Structure formats: C-alpha cells, structure tokens
Amino acid sequence: MKSLLATLALTTALTLPGLAIARPVTLTTQLSNYGGDGAYLALYVTDPSGAYAGTLWMAGGKSKYYDSLSDWYRATGGDLGQINGITGASVGAGRTLEITLDLADALFDAGYTLHIDAAVEEMRNSPNEVAVPLTTTGAGTAVKGRRYVASFTYDM
C-alpha cells in the first residue's frame, strides 16, 4: 500500500507540471501612424507544421469584417467559436495594444509561430503582417510588421 502511494505521489509530481506549466507573457503591438481607421488584428499561433493551433486575441468587434483577416479566416473558416471571449475593440493608428496572458510553456522553443493578420477599412489587407517564432531567446526583441505594425514584442 505504501509503495503504491509512493508511486502515485511520484508519478503525479512528474506528470502534472508538464501539463500545467505556463508563463505570463506580454504581447505588445504598436501600430504605425498609417492614417486610417482603427485596425482589425488577429493574433494566432501555428504549430511546427504550419497548421493553425489557436487564436490569442481578436481586435475588432464586427464579425462581418473578419474575412479581411484572410490567413486567419482561411485557417479557422471564420469560426467565431475560436474567439469566443477573446475579442476586443479595433486598435487606432498610432496606438499600442498590450495583451498579458498565461501562455502554455510547451509553445516555446518548439517550432510554434505567432502571427498577426491586419486589415483597415479602405486600405490594403495585410495577412501575416507579423510572423515570429516563439522562442525564449526571441523574447524582448522588437519585430517590425509589413504595413501597419510599427513594432511587435513578446516579453516573458
């Protein structure tokens, strides 16, 4: 009985951390002064094979415009279930969107990539505006987007 308990205690201690470990991460997206309306932004993650893994945040409240975030839309089929509870307002030109969340540890140094798709009314869509590999060494390094994002950083 004692050995059974000991085994249980040991296996629990070994397996649980692997499942539960997460780290607080701050994603900072600073938009340039592109001189247009508020930008719709989709922040999502793909796995090492490039397959969609999940969405972290959707900035922009009107679902009818989500197809302008074309890579995200193609990956999810526009499934609103993917962003249930993780949507907010669009982000104005020159503003900074700061998202703090607990990200699963398993995403880092494992080939996962964080993407941002951007779209602005009357301006060009910018799918894959930002694509950064999630690595512990890449944290804190600012990356420039293609069209609307002046800089993107993730800090741990």
Q: Is 23 in the site for other proteins (CB under 8 A)?
A: yes
Q: Is 84 in the site for other proteins (CB under 8 A)?
A: yes
The count of other CB atoms within 10 Å of the CB of residue 84 is: 10
User: In sequence order, which residues have a C-beta less than 8 Å from that of residue 23 and are 6 or more positions away?
Assistant: 102, 103, 105, 108, 156
- Footprint on residues 105-134 left by other proteins (CB under 8 A): 105, 107, 121-125
- CA pair distance 99, 115, nearest whole angstrom: 14
Nearer to other proteins, 104 or 143 (CB): 104
- CA pair distance 40, 30, nearest whole angstrom: 13
Residue 42 CB burial class (10 angstroms; 0-12, 13-18, ≥19): buried
- Footprint on residues 62-81 left by other proteins (CB under 8 A): 62-65, 67-68, 78, 80-81
Among 32, 34, 70, 99, binds other proteins (CB under 8 A): 99
Q: Is 8 in the site for other proteins (CB under 8 A)?
A: no
Residues that bind other proteins (CB under 8 A): 20-23, 37-38, 40, 45, 53-57, 60-65, 67-68, 78, 80-82, 84-92, 95-105, 107, 121-125
